[in-house]
Structure 1
Amino acid sequence: MALNVITASILAFVFMIILTPFFIPALKKFKFGQSIREEGPESHMKKGGTPTMGGIVILVSLILTMLVMTIWTGFSTELFLLLLVTIGFGTLGFLDDFIKIVKKRNLGLTSKQKLAGQAVIALIFFIVIYSGDFSTSVSVPATNFSIDLGFMYFFLVIFMLVGASNAVNLTDGLDGLLAGTGAVAFLAFAILAWIQGASDVAVFSFAIVGACLGFLVFNAHPAKVFMGDTGSLALGGAIAAIAILLGAELILVIIGGVFVIETLSVIIQVASFKLRGKRIFKMSPIHHHFELSGWSEWKVVTVFWSTGLVLAVAGIIIEVLI
C-alpha cells in the first residue's frame, strides 16, 4: 500500500503543477473571474477578477490520478462511491460558479437547487452502501458503544454530505485557507484509512492531499486562482464520504474542526442578529472577524492551518489510541 499512496499523492500534485498554468489563462480568456461580495472586507475588493473555478483542475487531476491508479489496484465500490460524491458535488459547484459568472452576481444556484442535487447524490451513495457489504453502525469515539441505524443511516449520510460540503465551502474565503486546511484534514483521514487497511480510501485520500498541495502553489497569497464552489463543494463532499466509509462519522467533527468552527460562527452570527439585533463577530465566517480585527490575511491563514493540524492529530489519537 505504501507505494500506491505515495504514487497517488505525487501524481495528483504533478498533474496540478502541470495543468494549472494552462487553466489559469483559459479561465482569464473566458472571463471566469471572481465576483467579490460588496459586504465583504474592503481589502478583498482588489481580488475581483481573479480567475475562479480552479476546482476544475483539482477534479481533472484527481480523475487522471485515479485512472492511472486503477490500472494497478483495480476499480472498487469504495472508489466508485468516492468519485460519485466528489465529481457530483463538484458538478453542482461548477453550475453554481458558472451561473454566478454569467449573471455577474455573487449568487448562483438557489439553496433548494443545491439541496436537491446533493440529496440525489446522497441517495445513490446510501443505496449502494445499504445494499452492499457496508456497516450502517455509528461508533462513539473512545468508547465501545455503537448503534446500528439501519435505513435511518440515510439521514446521517445526507446530513454529513450536505453539512460538510457547506462547511468546507464557508472556509474558502482567504488565499490558501481551504487548500491548506483541506490538505491537513485529508491527510488525517488518509492515515486513518492506512491504519484500517482501507487501501482504496487511503489512495484516494492521499491523492486529494497531493491535489490540495498542488493547488496551494497557485492559491497561496497572493492567489493567482481561486477554487470556487467547484472545488470547495467537491472537497466537502469527499471528506464526508471518506469519513463514512471509514466508520469515522463522529471523528469528522474533530478532524474537520476548523470547518465546524467556521459554520458555527455563521450560525451564531445570524441567530444573534435575528434574536438580539446585535452581531457577535465583526463579520462571519469567523476568518473575516480576525481580518477586521487587524490580523493580516497570511496570519489568519497560518493560525487556521495550525489549528487544523492540532485538531487532526487529536482526531487520530482519539480514533486510534483511546
Structure 2
Amino acid sequence: MKQILFAGVIGLFLTLVGTPLLIKLLARKGYGQYIRDDGPREHASKRGTPTMGGIAFIFATVAAYFLAKVITSYLEPDPNVDARPTFSGLLVLGLMVGMGLVGFLDDYIKIVKRRSLGLRAKAKMAGQLIVGIAFAVLALQFADNRGNTPASTKLSFITDFGWTIGPVLFVIWALFMILAMSNGVNLTDGLDGLATGASVLVFGAYTFIGVWQFQESCANAQTLTNPGACYEVRDPLDLAVVASALMGACLGFLWWNTSPAKIFMGDTGSLALGGVLAGLAICSRTELLMAILGGLFVLITMSVVIQVGSFRLTGKRVFRMAPLQHHFELKGWSEVLVVVRFWIIQGICVIVGLGLFYAGWAADK
C-alpha cells in the first residue's frame, strides 16, 4: 500500500514543480494554443497560452510509478507485497505514452509547423490504431501462475461475464474503447481545468478499485471470508499504483491548468488520458463500468454525436454549440461555473459507479 501513497505524492510534487518550468520553455519557444474564431468570445484571450502540457503529467506519472517501486523496494521493503513492475502496469503506462506521442505529433505539427489541422486524419488514426492494437495483443499475453493475463477475452462490468469473444473481437473491442475514451477526453478538454479535474476523480476511483480487488483477490481465496465474491484480476495493486500516480500528477497539473489556465494539456495530454483510462478499465475488468465512472466524457461525446446527427438529418442544431460545455457558455454561464458544475456531475458519476462496484461485490457474498 505504501507504493500507492508514494506514487501519488511523487506525481503531485513533480507536476507542481515541473509544470511551471515547462510553461517557461513552451512560452520561450512560442508554442501557443490556437483558438477557434466561432467559439465563445471569452476564449479569445486564451490565444497563445502554452499547450502540449500533457508532457508534464505523462513524464510525472511514469517517473512516480518507478520511483515508488524503488523506494518501497529498497527503503522499506514489504515481504507481503511484490514491489517489482508488473506487465499490467507497464502495458497501461505504455498505452498512455503511445497515445501521448500521437497527440504530441499532432500538437507539434499544428503549433510548430503552423498547419492548423495538425496530423492528417489518416495519419492520426493510423497512429492510434498501431498503439491500440499493440496494447490489445500484448494484454492477452503474459499469463501469471493462475493463468490470468492482463486483459480478458470476456466482456466485463464489475467482473468478467458472458462468453469468451475471442482474441480478434477483443482487439476490436479494445480499440473501440481506446478511441472512444481518447476522443471523449479530447472533446472535454475545451475549458480551463475541466478534463483534468474530471480525470482526477476517475483516477481516484480506480485507485480504490485496485486496492479493493487486491484485498479480495481470488489469489488469496484461502483467507477470504467469502471466496465466491473474489476478483480474478492479474495485477490489481499495481493498477492502483498507476492510478494513484496519475491522480497525483493530474492534480498537480490542475494547479496550473485551472482558470485562468497558464497551460493547456493539448492533444498530447487528452489522448494520453483517454488511452490510460481505457487501459485501466480493460485490465481491471471494469470495461462497461467505465461508461459510468467516466460519465462526463460520455455525456460530452454524445452531445457532439447528437449535434452532428441532428444537423445532417434535419438541418437543425440541438445545441447552440457542441461540445456541450460551449452550449452553456453561449447561454451565459461563466467558464468557471460550467467547469465546477460539470465536475459535480463527474463526481456523481464516480459515486454511482463505485456504488455499483461495491453492490456487485456485496450481492455475491
- Confirm or deny a common fold (TM above 0.5): yes
Other structure's SS at 2:36 match: coil
Q: Does 1:146 align with 2:145?
A: no
Q: CA RMSD in A?
A: 1.4
1:111 aligns with 2:128: no
Match of 2:257 among 206, 219, 239: 219
Q: Report if the CA contact (8 A) 1:96-1:108 is conserved.
A: yes
Query: 1:16 is matched with which residue?
Result: 15
Distance in 2 of aligned mates of 1:96 and 1:136: 32
Hey, what's the Cα distance between the residues in 2 that align with 1:44 and 1:168?
19
**Runs of 5+ unmatched residues, structure 2:** 74-82, 144-148, 215-235, 361-365
User: Among residues 312, 317, 326, which one is paired with 1:279 in the alignment?
Assistant: 317
Question: Which one has a bigger Cα radius of gyration?
Answer: 2
- Normalising by structure 2, what TM-score? 0.85
- Partner residue in 2 for 1:6: 5
Shift of 1:140: 4.3
- What's the counterpart of residue 26 of structure 2? 27
- Greater fraction helix: 1
Pairs aligned (count): 320
C-alpha deviation, 1:54, in angstroms: 0.7
Task: Give distance in 2, aligned partners of 1:107 and 1:167.
Answer: 19
Corresponding residue for 2:363?
Answer: none
Deviation at 1:105, TM superposition (A): 4.8
* Paired letter, 1:111: A
Is the Cα–Cα contact under 8 Å of residues 160 and 285 in structure 2 kept in the other structure? no
Aligned match for 2:266, one of 228, 238, 242 = 228
- Does the aligned pair in 1 maintain the 2:54–2:269 contact within 8 Å? yes
Distance 2:254 2:160 in 1: 39
**Amino acid of the structure 2 residue aligned with 1:230:** T
Q: Deviations over 1:39-81 (max 9, x none)?
A: 2111101100001111111111112112212323212101220
Which residue, 261, 285, 292 being the options, matches 1:254? 292
* Structure 1 residue 145 displacement after superposition: 4.4
Change (3 A) 1:22 1:272: same
**Percent of aligned positions with the same letter in both sequences?**
43
CA distance in 2, matches of 1:228, 1:210: 19
Moved over 4 A (4+): none
Query: Could you give the per-residue CA deviations for residues 84-121 of structure 1, whole angstroms, max 9, x where no partner exists?
Result: 10000000110010011024354211222122111111
- Unaligned regions of 5+ residues in structure 1, if any? none
The residue aligned with 1:121 is 131
TM-score, normalised to structure 1, is: 0.96
Deviation, 1:148, is: 1.6
* d(CA) in 2 for partners of 1:112, 1:251: 30
Q: Determine if contact 2:179/2:275 at 8 Å carries over to the other structure.
A: yes
The aligned runs of 1:162-181 (5 Å cut-off) are 162-181=179-198
**Aligned equivalents of 1:256 and 1:244: distance in 2?**
14
Q: What is the aligned counterpart of 2:154 among 137, 140, 143?
A: 137
1:283-322 superposed matches below 5 A: 283-322=321-360
- Residue in structure 1 matched with residue 283 of structure 2 by the alignment: 245
Residue deviations 1:5-38, cap 9 Å, x none? 1111110000011111211110001111001011
Do residues 187 (structure 1) and 187 (structure 2) align? no
8 Å CA contact retained: 2:3, 2:69: no
In the alignment, which of 228, 235, 242 is matched to residue 204 of structure 1? 242
SS in 2 for 1:147: strand
Q: Displacement of 1:128 after TM fit?
A: 1.5
Residue 226 of structure 1: how far off its partner (Å) = 0.6
Question: Relative to 1, partners in 2 of residues 1:145 and 1:204: Cα closer, same or farther, differing over 3 Å?
Answer: closer
Code of the residue aligned with 1:264 in structure 2: it is M
Q: Partner residue of 1:266?
A: 304
What SS class does the counterpart of residue 290 from structure 2 fall into? helix
Letter aligned with residue 21 of structure 1: P
